[in-house]
Amino acid sequence: MMKIGLLSLHKNTNYGWVLQCYALLSILKSLGHDVTYIDKVDFVEKKKKVIIKSQIKTFLRLILGKKKVNSNINPFFLKYITPRTSEIRSVKGLDKLQHFDAVIVGSDQVWRPLYVHPIENYYLDFVKNSACKKISYAASFGTDKAEYSASEIQICGNLLKLFHAVSIRESSAIGLIRDVYRWQTVPLVHVLDPTLLLCQADYDKLIGDSDSVAFNGNLFCYLLDMTSEKGSIVRKLESDLQKKAYSIQLNTSTMPNVENWLKAFKDADFVFTDSYHGCIFSIIFRKPFIVMGNRSRGLARFTSLLEMFGLMDLMIESSQELTSTRIDRCLSIDWIEVEECINKFRGRSISFLKNALSK
């Protein structure tokens, strides 16, 4: 048994983030390890303008009596993301974490400087113990575009040389690391997002252990960025499929808890989404789905996932691409073939973890 520290994205209001944390913790524990989640918050020197803006938002929330939008995600975090460190708000706090046998960074977009600060923390610069294994699991740049500055390329490249094992979530990351940033690393392994290491029965149990809600519809529309074009797609799907749409109001106090978010996929007959983890949970619950590629959030994540399972033709980038032929394709997914692909990659992914932690 090894004592392992797990570093992922800082706490946020994203369902996919907390579920991938849960899944990776669960798998590592099932392998017999003692795993602690490193509860690092996003710390960076803030400009005065940003601080003032944050203070105004906090004041308005108190005046208007609005609860924080993560209040329906936080109970899941507190219950299932355990054990965990106390909140770490400074480099000094990270420097105290020298007692682990291994530290794993991942999954999600932990290597995207737009989302994490300081970026070098996510290349484990704070791990000073030379006996501690540094490992990445399904680390993601979130994009196939180069977003690192010249200094970040140099600093992070030197840190990655010290990793014992490196796995990435998107196939495009191999090109970024090898050809664009020209980093020297141990062999790169393409693995599954942690949520796919668990099966539907694992998520069914989470749903069953929670108070559930009933959704008024059978066409689940999980959209991170609602637009008029996506609204027209919802109406077309309702008409063509003879389904009633239902959705979740994100970034509001009415967001469902994590268990009911999962139930929204389980109860659906069809899913329309622009979310990476929306695709994943459609696949896990074997639901016909269509995904609208989200270029601003990173298209490489979608293409890598869908290509892996032979489902690239389920992605559109405009409403004009949603033809009757494409809808028919969504309704005729060969789920046995998809499950075979998942099992193959799941075996490879778990073998990566076993090998990385046993060497």
pLDDT at 48 over 60: no
pTM value? 0.92
Q: Which residues lie across from 40 on neighbouring strands?
A: 88
The lowest-confidence range among 21-30, 103-112, 210-219, 229-238 is 210-219
pLDDT at 241 over 90: yes
What is the tally of structural domains in the chain?
2
Say if residue 194 is in the same domain as residue 269: no
Percent of the chain with pLDDT over 70: 92
pLDDT at 308 over 90: yes
Q: Which of 155, 136, 159, 160 is CA-nearest to residue 6?
A: 136
Give the pLDDT of residue 64. 46
**Residue 115 per-residue DSSP state:** T
Per-residue 3-state assignment (H helix, E strand, C coil) for 285-336: CCCCEEEECCHHHCCHHHHHHHHHCCCHHHEECCHHHCCHHHHHHHCCCCHH
Q: Which residue has the higher pLDDT, 52 or 307?
A: 307
Q: What is the pLDDT of residues 19-29, one digit of tens each?
A: 999 999 999 99
Say if residue 73 is in the same domain as residue 94: yes
Say if residue 129 is in the same domain as residue 232: no
Give the pLDDT of residue 51. 42
Residue with tokens 């033709």: 313
What band does 286 get if pLDDT is binned at 50, 70 and 90? very high
Decide: 264 and 272 in contact? Cβ < 8 Å: no
| Burial (0-12, 13-18, 19+ Cβ within 10 Å), 218 | middle
- What are the distances in angstroms from CA 340 to CA 47, 57, 157, 197? 50, 48, 36, 13
Say if residue 324 is in the same domain as residue 178: no
Say if residue 160 is in the same domain as residue 117: yes
Say if residue 282 is in the same domain as residue 177: no
pLDDT at 59 over 50: no
pLDDT at 180 over 80: yes
Give the pLDDT of residue 67. 45
What residues make up the domain containing 251?
209-340
Say if residue 64 is in the same domain as residue 134: yes
Say if residue 135 is in the same domain as residue 235: no
pLDDT at 46 over 60: no
The lowest-confidence range among 17-31, 49-63, 232-246 is 49-63
Give the pLDDT of residue 72. 86
Rounded Cα gap, residues 118 and 123, in angstroms: 10
pLDDT at 38 over 50: yes
**Residue 194 per-residue DSSP state:** G
Rounded Cα gap, residues 187 and 199, in angstroms: 28
Q: Is residue 218 part of a domain?
A: yes
| Helices then strands, each counted (H, E), the chain | 13, 11
pLDDT at 267 over 90: yes
CATH classification of the domain holding 240: 3.40.50.450
Strand order of the β-sheet with 289-292 is 245-247, 219-222, 270-273, 289-292, 315-316
What band does 63 get if pLDDT is binned at 50, 70 and 90? very low
Q: Is residue 298 part of a domain?
A: yes
Rounded Cα gap, residues 256 and 254, in angstroms: 6
Beta strands 270-273 and 289-292 are parallel
pLDDT at 62 over 50: no
For the record, the structure tokens of 34 come out as 């003692």
Give the orientation angle of helix 15-30 with respect to helix 335-358, to 10 degrees: 60
pLDDT at 58 over 70: no
Decide: 21 and 11 in contact? Cβ < 8 Å: no
What band does 69 get if pLDDT is binned at 50, 70 and 90? very low
pLDDT at 55 over 70: no
Q: Is residue 203 part of a domain?
A: no
| Mean predicted confidence (pLDDT) in 176-182 | 97
Say if residue 238 is in the same domain as residue 350: no
Give the pLDDT of residue 242. 97
Q: Is residue 236 part of a domain?
A: yes
Give the pLDDT of residue 358. 92
Give the pLDDT of residue 214. 87
Decide: 294 and 142 in contact? Cβ < 8 Å: no
Say if residue 165 is in the same domain as residue 219: no
Say if residue 51 is in the same domain as residue 25: yes
CATH classification of the domain holding 108: 3.40.50
Percent of the chain with pLDDT over 90: 82
The lowest-confidence range among 64-78, 191-205, 312-326 is 64-78
Give the pLDDT of residue 53. 54
| Mean predicted confidence (pLDDT) in 299-321 | 95
pLDDT at 255 over 80: yes
Q: Which residue has the higher pLDDT, 57 or 33?
A: 33
